[in-house]
Structure 1
Amino acid sequence: MRALVLAHAPLMRWLRAARGHAPADGCIGAGAVRSLVWDHLHGFPPGRHAPTDVDFVYYDPTDLSAAHETRVTQRLREAAPDAPWEIVNQARVHLWHRNSQGAAPPPARSLADGIARWPETATCVGVALTTDDQLRIVAPYGLTDLFGLVLRPSPGADLDAYAQRLAAKRHPETWPRLTVAPPIHR
């Protein structure tokens, strides 16, 4: 993982911007990381499937305001205007997110807990640069599914929403070596 991230100039630029202009516990995750790895494992050139957004997530239960997310977004857009930033404080997701039945999730207990609620296990990965340029990885389900090219819903995922997402995203067409697997249970 480290070698892939360090070799990808756009992601490194975004990670440096995040390190300098966003909450320190945050990370870039989801599609930006997943697409980089799956493109590499398929032998595609870096950036072939560039992310439509760059998800930066952090956890701050002391400020649940949308204004705080907006301030972080503004700082990151100024620091790295080439990134299509999508900023989310995982501590406030329960205030606005609803599942397919209209229910709100319980509040996340940590950054890793918030990431663990993302739709697919292989997408539940975030990376950040430490102050000494080490790569910090947040992967609540590990990296096995990501590097094993396994697409499966996360434990506790809204399976109706997951099925709709699977049909809309068409990941197996983009990365034909993927294995679509059944859910795992906590």
Structure 2
Amino acid sequence: MVRASPWLMEALRAARALHLADWCIGAGALRSLVWDALHGFASQPSALSDIDLAHFDASDLSPGRDAALQARLQASHPGLPWEVTNQAAVHLWFADYFGYAVEPLSSLEDGVATWPEYATAVGVALNADDSLRLIAPYGLDDLFAMRVRRNPARASVEIYRQRLAQKRYAERWPRVRVVESA
């Protein structure tokens, strides 16, 4: 699916050109790609609110670095809606955005493992030899079963419910099954 997607391969090449030490494109971009394919929507892929480029660089935690990387991507690939986040810096702004503090992460994989739903806790990178590297700390079962479940690693029940209301998965993908969280 990844190699068959022109927009995702373009995004992966653009991200690789940044020469980041450890990175992936993940979350909603991959979820939408897979669920569109499983629903037969390949000819009309879902519009993406963003393409999440996650990376890990503990040597530069400044928000300006992510903004500069995002600006470079938007300049070189203006048709793609980029959002760049250094997972090593998430703990610095998380409380202001979500209302509670979190511990620093130790790797990109640790960051992906905190993403709000198991089906979106997936990332892919394009290696220098054009092979793909998959990051899926919880596996791919939820993604391919089209099942949405809260990942309690970081998403509170309240945030999960807000995301369900915002994302409205079943409206776009009627075969998706949402598991409510108590």
Q: State the TM-score, normalizing by the size of structure 2.
A: 0.92
Match of 1:70 in 2: 67
Residue aligning to 1:159: 157
Within-5 A mapping of 1:1-186: 4-98=1-95, 102-156=99-153, 157-181=155-179
CA distance in 2, matches of 1:49, 1:101: 27
Aligned residue for 2:17, secondary structure, equals: helix
Equivalent residue pairs, number:
180
List per-residue Cα deviations over 1:103-137 (Å, max 9, x = no partner). 11111111011111111110111111101111111
Cα RMSD between the aligned structures? 1.7
Q: Deviations over 1:37-86 (max 9, x none)?
A: 00111111255212111110101111110111122112222332211110
- The answer for unaligned runs of 5 or more in structure 2 is none
- Are the structure 2 counterparts of residues 121 and 8 from structure 1 closer, same or farther at C-alpha, using a change threshold of 3 Å? same
Q: Percent identity?
A: 51
Look up the SS of the partner of 2:151 in the other structure: coil
| Secondary structure of residue in 1 paired with 2:142 | helix
TM-score, normalization: structure 1?
A: 0.90
Cα displacement string for residues 147-179 of structure 1 (whole angstroms, at most 9, x for unaligned residues) = 111100113221111001101111022111112
Whole-angstrom distance in 2 between the partners of 1:166 and 1:99:
21
- Is contact 2:21–2:57 with CA below 8 Å preserved after alignment? no
Cα distance in 2 between the residues matched to 1:72 and 1:26: 12
In 1, the alpha carbon distance for the partners of 2:139 and 2:43 equals 23
Contact 1:153 1:162 in 2 (8 A): yes
Amino acid at match of 1:85: W
d(CA) in 2 for partners of 1:132, 1:40:
26
Q: Secondary structure at the match of 1:57?
A: strand
